[in-house]
A and B are shown apart, each in its own frame.
Chain A
Amino acid sequence: MATVEIQTLEKHYGSAHALKSITFTVRDGEFVVLVGPSGCGKSTLLRAIAGLEDVSAGAVRIGGRDVTDLEPRDRDIAMVFQSYALYPHMTVRDNMAFSLDVRRTPRPEIDARVTEAARILGLEPFLDRKPRALSGGQRQRVAMGRAIVRRPQVFLFDEPLSNLDAKLRVQMRAEIRGLHDRLGATSIYVTHDQVEAMTMADRIVVLEAGRIVQSGSPLELYGRPANRFVAEFIGSPSINIVEGRVEAGGAVALANGGRLPAPHGLRDGTVQIGIRPEDLVLDPSGPIGGPVRLVEHLGAETYVLFGPEAAPLTWRVAGTVDFPSGQDLRLRPDPDRLHVFDPATGNRL
């Protein structure tokens, strides 16, 4: 396995600037997830690492070797595509053997590696089937098998679970992470699903409009988002944002008249306060509140939407609670877990 170093990578499509000075390093054996909304450049970045996309400037190094101008076949990588990209006219066995076959690997070794990969992935009964005779989950496994028989330096995953149903997605993300740990692989995984990012990553790289906005462990990003975009993107349900003004005397006056203790070091002026839905507790004298708009029961927890109808806030409660619609709720945020953002730049204060 190997480190992957991305240095000041730029990509232009005509006048569109898809990647803006992207720099980061994936350590040997690390599982890094590139996450961001549609169009943020995460798939373009992965394709640039794979060599499927030319870059306008910058460099890609794999295992210390500059591969920026090399063809994909010379980069020693394997990639799992969103559509699986299996060869439809070949059997599962031939799909998995293809990469070894084109490299003139001896037949006994090909057979041994394909058999081993099929055993790991539970594909042995399907080796002589064509992809069209497989379910979505089985196709996904074949795509994984095709990658692992190669024993590449780096695995690249381009939203491989987005075509699967919710239950299978949960199962497969555990399998992919388990496989990564077992192989000790260096993996770069692209997704727009922050739950996938949180559950699978050693480190998450968040992209917005072609730029890296934050990189860190899942809990770092959740606990100390660098800006409002990251705070809103990471976490489900999304973080609550309320407007306020820092007053002399160490308090933040909220727009609804309530007051919060101001975190240390804040200067006077307007701010945006981010409060995670689980960081609220019921308190009749709490500074935040409003009429109940909707109660969503998920069984193990309940989401209570309350406050202004146009932009309700969310309170996440463990277990099952019920409130009649319209009942006035008063809640108090945990003062140690507030996130304060500059309204002009969105940056954390």
Chain B
Amino acid sequence: MSFPSEISSGAAPAAVPPRRHRREPSGDRWFRWATLLPAVIVLVVLTVWPVANLLRMAVSTIEFTRDGASFAFTPAENLRRLAGDDLFFINLRTTVIFVVVSVILEMVLGFLLALMVSGVPRGKGLVRTLMILPILVPPVAIGSMWKLVYNHDFGILNQALGVVGLGPVGWLSNPDLALWSVVLVDVWHWTPFVFLILFAGIEGLPREVIEAARVDGATTWQIVRRIVLPLMAPAIAVAFIFRAILAFKVFDQIFLLTSGGPGTATEVVSLRLYRVFFDQNELGYGALLSVVIILAVVAFLLTAGALARRVGR
């Protein structure tokens, strides 16, 4: 039996025929585009068009007349107004403080809770169900509930302080305390969300890898720091991004608890936006503030991502 010479000698084939592209039947091509079209239309109508319209509004002054809205192209004026809007930058600073503190607390508490519950031999399902409850409570109910908890005269916190001879404290009326009181409510509301994502991540970790680390001599802290945290990075990133975006957009609970007060102590950018859009009817300037907030969120996430990568290294 003999093999073809170019195979038995191991030499490269003399000439490789040019690769032929199979011609797609036109019916298939049309079908492919036709099935994609609904998704493309939904994307354009619900995302691209609103963003384009927001950008158009951001560089305009919009006035309402009997004939409808009239757009005047005033980018320089809008930007000049933004540059001189000290209140907005105070709002932005308040928002960043709110986001950083609440999201960090939620991530740390959520991770610790997930670690603790994953180590419980029984009842994980029950704990997971109980943890979902705060997420299910409507924001209006949360606002009312916590307003009662923080009430200066008969709130449970001040009553508890009264028992030990302290207080009463103006949880929502003291400008130095109000933001932290609002942060506490956000942490109560959203830590379970972080817990659920991270708990699912921890439960999905390969058990033998953790056991190998135990046999290798690692302490619990070393296992968490050097094995669990790096392996959990994707779940942590998802939870962080979700929470940071949602925290930047926080509105309802602050509106219900303090309406941004006292003064501007808890006025975050979404409350300011609400006022500009709906109280002052300044749609063009409001749109510009929206664009700035979107850019701030993106900058925040990029900075956080870069920091996380540096810490990871």
Contacts and interface: CB of A to CB of B under 8 A. Distances in A.
B231 A89 contact: yes
A87 B214 contact: no
A88 B216 contact: no
Interface in B190-222: 206, 208-209, 211-219, 222
B212 A85 contact: yes
Given A78-B216, A98-B218, 12 more contacts: A51-B215, A71-B214, A73-B216, A78-B215, A79-B211, A85-B206, A86-B209, A86-B212, A88-B231, A98-B213, A98-B226, A102-B219
B149 interface: no
A134 interface: no
A72 interface: yes
A234 interface: no
Interface string A140-184: 000000100010000000000000000000000000000000000
Contacts of B208: 81-83, 85
Given A85-B208, A89-B231, A50 B215 contact: yes
B230 interface: yes
The majority secondary structure among interface residues of chain B is helix
A264 interface: no
A46 B199 CA distance: 29
Interface of B: 206, 208-209, 211-219, 222, 226-227, 230-231
A86 B218 CA distance: 14
Given A83-B206, A85-B206, A73 B215 contact: yes
16 contacts: A72-B211, A73-B214, A73-B216, A73-B218, A78-B216, A79-B212, A81-B208, A83-B208, A85-B211, A87-B212, A87-B213, A88-B209, A98-B216, A98-B226, A102-B219, A150-B216
A81 B216 contact: no
A72 B212 CA distance: 9
Contacts of B212: 79, 81, 85-87, 146
A79 B219 CA distance: 17
B217 A89 contact: no
Contacts of A85: 206, 208-209, 211-212
Contacts of A102: 216-219, 222, 226
Nearest to B214: A72
A86 B209 CA distance: 6
B216 A146 contact: yes
A57 interface: no
Interface centre among B212, B218, B222 (most CB of A within 10 A): B212
B70 to A, nearest CB: 58
Interface in A25-44: none
A99 interface: yes
Nearest to A83: B208
A52 interface: yes
Given A83-B208, A85-B209, A73 B230 contact: no
A99 B209 contact: no
A198 B286 CA distance: 80
Nearest to A143: B212
A87 B230 CA distance: 10
Given A52-B211, A79-B212, A87-B227, A99 B206 contact: no
Closest 8 CB pairs of A and B: A99-B216, A85-B208, A85-B212, A73-B217, A89-B230, A72-B215, A72-B214, A102-B218
